[in-house]
Structure formats: structure tokens, C-alpha cells
């Protein structure tokens, strides 16, 4: 039965957070099938696979293609069952980017010929092109088809900046698109794109018209294993340029497990100012608090300081230790313990690195008193680490991750820039697990649910 506009409107209200449902990560996972459970899907059935295609393959297999390799188990399972798998997904944010290199690398990884369809959607009519229908009809059981970059088409990006008030204007278009996928391509959908945390139509709308949905084996394993373990973290290291990470940190703390919080970057600047004000003093955080810079990502508005004050006050009452920088590397390379109105911090200073190392030692002593191994979660970098002048704080702290793991702590790195720093300054075995998708991990552990999990759960539990 075709999806109705009424159902799509209700769907979009959930996706855009108008109608909120309070559910934890494990509740979502428990309500979504995994691909290996789709045992009643017969050979020859077309299956849509939302793939983790956003990567830059290097010269040979194993270089820059970890996301493609993460899909292999699911794609092999589908091939063994004789499904005709139609993979779609994005690369980057530029609509002009192509999956040409991804197609060639995925063919190498799967050791088979994959059909690549470059122009598969008609944006003027919102229809799937006949070439796709013909390719599926011509395919044999076990064949794989890859569609060009979904973000090539505006409809894929229509929810990125959508507000609840926009829903009535989007319903008809998105209903038609979802029904086109179900009618022309497949009614079975597998999500094997762990990193696809944006509000892409392919991730959060197409599922509405599907008869069966499932999580791919890799995505299911990440959520049910390492991410589930991160929910129990007693120590979190959180840093970054944008103060909105404060929401994620607040959500992590609210679970009641965290006892140690290490911070750096703009997040730390907001927390430092809040801590000073709680103690009846003040601390200048430079341009980060100057309204003239309010259009910049590092700007911290007064309401965020108030939010940080409440979080620190509540955390202190729970016995949480907040470990924050005591010196900073400024824009001109100076190391200072205070900032002037025109200053901006770009890294933590050497005294902060020493403080962090000492406090990690205290954490390890505390961890010895636990009955089970402690868990630590690290996200972000300490400064503008891509510039050698501001990399020392991040580089130096990587050794602390190894120190914790060597002491028996389960250490998780949340992908993104933190994962890049580990690759640059450390070794993979310095931590228990390094995620391949920073945004998805923060959503899963933070204040907002992962959009594609919301969509999959709704699709799997239709009434």
C-alpha cells in the first residue's frame, strides 16, 4: 500500500522533533531488526542499501576506505542470499562530487563487477529514471548496483534546514519520492551507513514507504557493542570549537555514571567562565564572549554560560570532577593563564597538559577501586591541531589514552577529529575502539537521537 501524505506528515513531525518520544539508544536498537534477521526475503528480491560511501579511497585497498570495508559483511550476506542490492548514499557536502572512485574501490573490495548508474533521478518530476528500473530487471540474484551521489539532487538536502513550519510544504514532495523508491526500486531497506547522521532524504524519509527495514551488521555491532559500553563511561574528555557540545556533555552527565570531565577548546572556555562565576569571580574568555563575533562558531552567548553554571553546580553536588585548562596558547603563539578581550585560545598550554596527566593518574587510582574495568570516552581535539603551532596539547594527550588502556580502562575515541588525531599521533591499539563517525556517536550519546535510528524504529514498528 502506498504511503499517504497524512502518514508522511506524522513521520516528518517525529523526524524534525515536533512530536518527541523519549527513548534511549538501547531502546531504539532493540526495536530495529538486523539484516541477518531478514530470513524471509527471497533470492532475486531488490534490496535498497543505504551505504557508508563518504570516503576518499587511497592508492590501494585498506587506504582511506574503512567505511567501504565496514559494509562488506552486510553486502556479502545479501549476495549469499541472492538479493539484488541497490546501494545509494552520499559523498561530501558538495552536490558536484562523484562516487566514481568509490565505485571502483567497492568493486575491488567485493571482488565483483558493480553496475554504476550516474543519472538515476529526474529532479524536475521527482521520479526514478527508467535506467534504474531496467538495470534491476536485468540483474541476476547476487548482483550489486550503485547509484551516484544522492546529494547531487536537491530533494536529498531539503530537510537540512527545515523547520516544523515547513512540513506542510514538504509533505507532498517527500511522499512522492518515498513511494517512487518503493515502487521502482525496492520495498526492503538496509541501513549500513553508520556515519550518515544528517537529515538526508535517503536516510530518514525513504524508509517511511518500506515494508521491511534493518540495520546492517556493522552499524548494529557499533551501536550494540562499543556505543552501548560508552553509555557507562565514568570519564569523558570533551572538546571542540562549538559550544553546542555543551548539550551533549549535559546529556552524558545526566545518566549518572560520569565522575570525571576533562574539557578543552571553546567548550572549556564556557565552563571555565561558568566555574569562576559560581565562585563569585569572573574570567575573560576573549573574543569568544564578544557579541561582535556572534556569527562565528567559537562565540559563546551568555545563555550558554548560564547553562554551564547549572551543569557544573549540579555536577559538583554529584561529586563530579571538572578538569579544565589552566593555561592557553593564544593566536600569536604566546602561552598565557589569562585572556584579554581581543585574545583567542588555539590550544591548551604546557601547564594544562601536566595537569591533565596528573589527573589521569588520579583517575586510574580511583578506577582500581571499581569491581569492573572503567570506561573512558574521548571526543574532539584540544585546539587548532591541523596547524603545527597549535598541535602540542592534542598530540601530548594521545599518550594518556594509551596509558589508560594499558591500565585496563576501556578507552573509546568518538571518531571525527579525535580519531584523526589518534591516527596522526598514536596507534590504533592505543585505544579499545575508534569510531568511524563522530557526529553519529555524539548524537547517540548526547542530547538528540540519531535521525536514521528514529526513522528505522518508526518503519520497523508501523501499526
Q: Binning pLDDT at 50, 70 and 90, where does residue 361 land?
A: very high
Cα separation of 227 and 445, whole Å?
8
How far is the C-alpha of 69 from the C-alpha of 71, rounded, in Å? 5
- Which pLDDT tens digit goes with each residue over 187-200? 999 999 999 989 99
With cut-offs at 50, 70 and 90, classify the pLDDT of residue 446.
confident
In this predicted structure, the answer to whether residue 3 has a pLDDT above a threshold of 90 is yes
Calculate the alpha carbon distances from 279 to 83, 192, 216, 256, 435 in Å.
63, 48, 50, 24, 38
Distance of CA 143 to the CA centre of its chain: 30
C-alpha of 224 from chain center: 15
pLDDT (average), residues 294-309: 94
Could you tell me what percent of the chain has a pLDDT over 90?
90
Determine whether 429 is exposed, middle or buried from the number of CB atoms within 10 Å of its CB (0-12, 13-18, 19+): exposed
Give the mean pLDDT of 402-409. 98
- Where do the domains of the chain lie, and which CATH numbers do they carry? 5-224+449-460 (3.40.50.1260), 231-431 (3.40.50.1260)
Is residue 209 within 8 A of residue 198, CB to CB? The reply is: no
Q: Taking residues 60-84, what's their average pLDDT?
A: 96
Nine-digit cell string for 220: 548494529
111 Rama sector, left if φ>0, alpha if ψ -120 to 50, beta otherwise: left
- The reported pLDDT for the residue numbered 463 is 54
pTM of the full predicted structure? Answer: 0.92
Q: For the residues 117-138, what does the mean pLDDT come to?
A: 98
**What DSSP element (H or E) covers 249?**
helix 245-254
Average pLDDT, the chain: 95
d(CA 446, CA 463): 29
pLDDT at residue 444 above 90? Answer: no
Amino acid at each position: 500500500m502506498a504511503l499517504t501524505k497524512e502518514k508522511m506528515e506524522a513521520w516528518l513531525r517525529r523526524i524534525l522533533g515536533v512530536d518527541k518520544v523519549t527513548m534511549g539508544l538501547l531502546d531504539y536498537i532493540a526495536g530495529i531488526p538486523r539484516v541477518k534477521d531478514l530470513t524471509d526475503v527471497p533470492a532475486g528480491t531488490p534490496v535498497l542499501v543505504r551505504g557508508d560511501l563518504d570516503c576518499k579511497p587511497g592508492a590501494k585497498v585498506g587506504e582511506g576506505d574503512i567505511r567501504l570495508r565496514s559494509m562488506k559483511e552486510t553486502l556479502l550476506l545479501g549476495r549469499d542470499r541472492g538479493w539484488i542490492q541497490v546501494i545509494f548514499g552520499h559523498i561530501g557536502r558538495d552536490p558536484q562530487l562523484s562516487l566514481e572512485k568509490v565505485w571502483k574501490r567497492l568493486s575491488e573490495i567485493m571482488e565483483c563487477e558493480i553496475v554504476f548508474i550516474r543519472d538515476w533521478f529526474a529532479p524536475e518530476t521527482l521520479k526514478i529514471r527508467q535506467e534504474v528500473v531496467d538495470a534491476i530487471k536485468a540483474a541476476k540474484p547476487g548482483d550489486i548496483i550503485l547509484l551516484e551521489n544522492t546529494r547531487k539532487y536537491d530533494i536529498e538536502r531539503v530537510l537540512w534546514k527545515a523547520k516544523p513550519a515547513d512540513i506542510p510544504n514538504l509533505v507532498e514532495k517527500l511522499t512522492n519520492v518515498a513511494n517512487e523508491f518503493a515502487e521502482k526500486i525496492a520495498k526492503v531497506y538496509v541501513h549500513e551507513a553508520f556515519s550518515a547522521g544528517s537529515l538526508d532524504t535517503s536516510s530518514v524519509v525513504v524508509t517511511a514507504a518500506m515494508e521491511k527495514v534493518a540495520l546492517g551488521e556493522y552499524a548494529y555491532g557499533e551501536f550494540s557493542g562499543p556505543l552501548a559500553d560508552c553509555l557507562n563511561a565514568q570519564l569523558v574528555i570533551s572538546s571542540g570549537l562549538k559550544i553546542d557540545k555543551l548539550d551533549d556533555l549535559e546529556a552524558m552527565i545526566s545518566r549518572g555514571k560520569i565522575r570525571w570531565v576533562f574539557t578543552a577548546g571553546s567548550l572549556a572556555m564556557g565552563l571555565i567562565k561558568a566555574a569562576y562565576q559560581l565562585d563569585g569571580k569572573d574570567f575573560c574568555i576573549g573574543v569568544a564572549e564578544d557579541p561582535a563575533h556572534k556569527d562565528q562558531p567559537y562565540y559563546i552567548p551568555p545563555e550558554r554560560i548560564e547553562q554551564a553554571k547549572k551543569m557544573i553546580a549540579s555536577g559538583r553536588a554529584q561529586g563530579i570532577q571538572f578538569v579544565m585548562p589552566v593555561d592557553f596558547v593564544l593566536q600569536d603563539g604566546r602561552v598565557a593563564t589569562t585572556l584579554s578581550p581581543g585574545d583567542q585560545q588555539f590550544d591548551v598550554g604546557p601547564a594544562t597538559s601536566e595537569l591533565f596527566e596528573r589527573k589521569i593518574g588520579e583517575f586510574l587510582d580511583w578506577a582500581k577501586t571499581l569491581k569492573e574495568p572503567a570506561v573512558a570516552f574521548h571526543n574532539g581535539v584540544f585546539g587548532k591541531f591541523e596547524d603545527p603551532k597549535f598541535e602540542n596539547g592534542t598530540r601530548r594527550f594521545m599518550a594518556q589514552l594509551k596509558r589508560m588502556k594499558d591500565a585496563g580502562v576501556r578507552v573509546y575515541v568518538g571518531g571525527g577529529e579525535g580519531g584523526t588525531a589518534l591516527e596522526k599521533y598514536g596507534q590504533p591499539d592505543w585505544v579499545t575502539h575508534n569510531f568511524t563517525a563522530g557526529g553519529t556517536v555524539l548524537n547517540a550519546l548526547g542530547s538528540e537521537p540519531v535521525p536514521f535510528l528514529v526513522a528505522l524504529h518508526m518503519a520497523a514498528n508501523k501499526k
